[in-house]
């Protein structure tokens, strides 16, 4: 028990020591398509009618409050603009509230049919970030007494308590009633995240590529059983990961299994009633952190709203629900 507490303590301290001036990485959701605008802004308006998505993730619950992220998004197709519009807001708390990052983004996604079966969407996203640090919760090396631990006063000079900046992203997706392929690039301008006025800590560009297909098991048009194999690749500076997943849907019940390379299996269970979706997933950590962090819990909720029947100009995408 003492060893476990010591391990948790040093993990927590390491996170806090890294907070003052670092190269950050974006929070990540395991239910990739339950938060579609976060994955790729080109998915704004992809369901045509208005849609609201709410997501909650608690990563590493054994270390209380280490990474807790929530997200709210709204999107719909706007015929007058020949595309979709979207709004997404996120709130991320790290290190038991030591670092808070809040964002709000506006998205426009232009949709175009390329042929009778294939469509394309391309998007631009503008984001305002507000990052804040509670310096009183940070610990530094000069505070450590070799005998008594953290008892000394630090000589480190605190930086700004909050910092706001703008960011821009883009994305595109090609899809039909059977497959989809998408690509997004976040943080095109690499804004400076440093909490010091003379610091330089650019937010690295994040690249995402995703693809998948939907296959009916049984007679097409009458079957209520589908499988959907998927692949998602992401890279942000030196961090890179590959996610391989498979969904199985029978009627409203959805089950999913993802493998994140050398890190975790993601187990998912969801209910998809068309305009109403709710899902739960758990990251089963398989790396050396498995006994220390206890994986990650994630909840998602999505509600679609009916819209006025119009002449069909655009088609629904085939992306999974979760």
Looking at the domain assignment, is residue 313 inside a domain? no
Looking at the domain assignment, is residue 190 inside a domain? yes
Q: What is the pLDDT of residues 181-213, one digit of tens each?
A: 999 999 999 999 888 888 888 999 999 999 999
3-state secondary structure the chain: CHHHHHHHHHHHHHHHHCCCCCCCCCCCCCCHHHCHHHHCHHHCCCCCCCEEEEEEEEECCCCCCCEEEEEEEEEEEEHHHCEEEEEEEEEEEECCCCEEEEEEEEEEEEEEECCCCCEEEEEEEEEEEEEEECHHHCCCHHHEECCCEECCCCCCCCCCCEEEEEEEEEEEEEECCCEEEEEEEECCCCCECCCCCCCCCECCCEEEEEEEECEECCCCCCCCEEEEEEEEEEEECCEEEEEEEEEEEECCEEEEEEEECCCEEEEEEEEECCCEEEEEEEEEECCCCHHHHCCEEEEEEEEECCCCCCCCCCCCCCCCCC
Q: So what's the pLDDT on residue 64?
A: 63
Looking at the domain assignment, is residue 71 inside a domain? yes
Q: Which two tokens stand for residue 207?
A: 């690249």
User: Which range of residues forms the domain containing residue 168?
Assistant: 2-304
Q: What is the pLDDT of residues 268-282, one digit of tens each?
A: 999 999 889 999 999
Q: What is the pLDDT of residues 114-156, one digit of tens each?
A: 888 899 999 999 999 999 988 777 777 777 877 777 767 777 7
Q: Which two tokens stand for residue 151?
A: 């008892």
Q: What is the pLDDT of residues 214-224, one digit of tens each?
A: 998 877 666 78
pLDDT score of 23 more than 80? no
Looking at the domain assignment, is residue 314 inside a domain? no
Looking at the domain assignment, is residue 316 inside a domain? no
Range 303-307 average pLDDT: 89
Q: So what's the pLDDT on residue 116?
A: 83
pLDDT band at 290 (very low <50, low <70, confident <90, very high): low
Q: What is the pLDDT of residues 228-260, one digit of tens each?
A: 999 999 999 888 999 999 999 999 999 999 999
pLDDT score of 313 more than 90? no
Range 81-108 average pLDDT: 92
Provide the whole-model pTM: 0.86
Q: Which two tokens stand for residue 86?
A: 């979207």
Q: How many other C-beta atoms can be found within 10 angstroms of the C-beta atom of residue 37?
A: 27
- Mean pLDDT over the full length of the chain: 85
Looking at the domain assignment, is residue 321 inside a domain? no
Q: So what's the pLDDT on residue 114?
A: 87
Looking at the domain assignment, is residue 320 inside a domain? no
pLDDT band at 4 (very low <50, low <70, confident <90, very high): very low
Q: How many domains does the chain have?
A: 1
CATH value at residue 245 = 2.40.160.40
Q: So what's the pLDDT on residue 19?
A: 37
């Amino acid at each position: 028990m003492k060893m476990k507490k010591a391990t948790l303590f040093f993990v927590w301290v390491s996170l806090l020591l890294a907070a003052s001036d670092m190269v950050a990485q974006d929070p990540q959701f395991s239910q990739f398509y339950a938060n579609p605008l976060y994955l790729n802004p080109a998915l704004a308006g992809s369901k045509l009618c208005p849609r609201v998505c709410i997501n909650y993730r608690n990563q590493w619950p054994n270390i209380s409050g280490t990474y807790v992220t929530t997200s709210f998004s709204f999107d719909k197709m706007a015929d007058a603009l020949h595309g979709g519009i979207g709004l997404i807001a996120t709130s991320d708390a790290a290190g038991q509230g030591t670092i808070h990052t809040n964002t709000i983004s506006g998205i426009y996604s232009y949709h175009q049919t390329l042929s009778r079966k294939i469509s394309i969407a391309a998007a631009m996203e503008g984001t305002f970030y507000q990052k804040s640090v509670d310096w009183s919760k940070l610990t530094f090396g000069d505070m450590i007494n070799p005998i008594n631990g953290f008892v000394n006063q630090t000589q480190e000079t605190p930086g700004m308590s909050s910092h706001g900046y703008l960011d821009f992203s883009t994305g595109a997706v090609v899809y039909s009633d059977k497959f989809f392929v998408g690509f997004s690039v976040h943080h095109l301008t690499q804004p400076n995240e440093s909490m010091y006025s003379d610091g330089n800590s650019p937010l690295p560009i994040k690249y995402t590529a995703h693809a998948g297909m939907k296959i009916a098991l049984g007679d097409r048009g009458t079957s209520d059983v589908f499988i959907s194999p998927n692949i998602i690749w992401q890279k942000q500076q030196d961090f890179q990961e590959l996610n391989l997943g498979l969904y199985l849907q029978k009627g409203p019940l959805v089950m999913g299994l993802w493998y994140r390379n050398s890190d975790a299996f993601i187990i998912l269970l969801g209910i998809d009633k068309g305009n109403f979706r709710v899902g739960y997933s758990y990251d089963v950590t398989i790396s050396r952190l498995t006994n220390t962090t206890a994986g990650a819990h994630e909840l998602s909720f999505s509600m679609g709203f009916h819209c006025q029947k119009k002449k069909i100009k655009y088609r629904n995408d085939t992306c999974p629900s979760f």
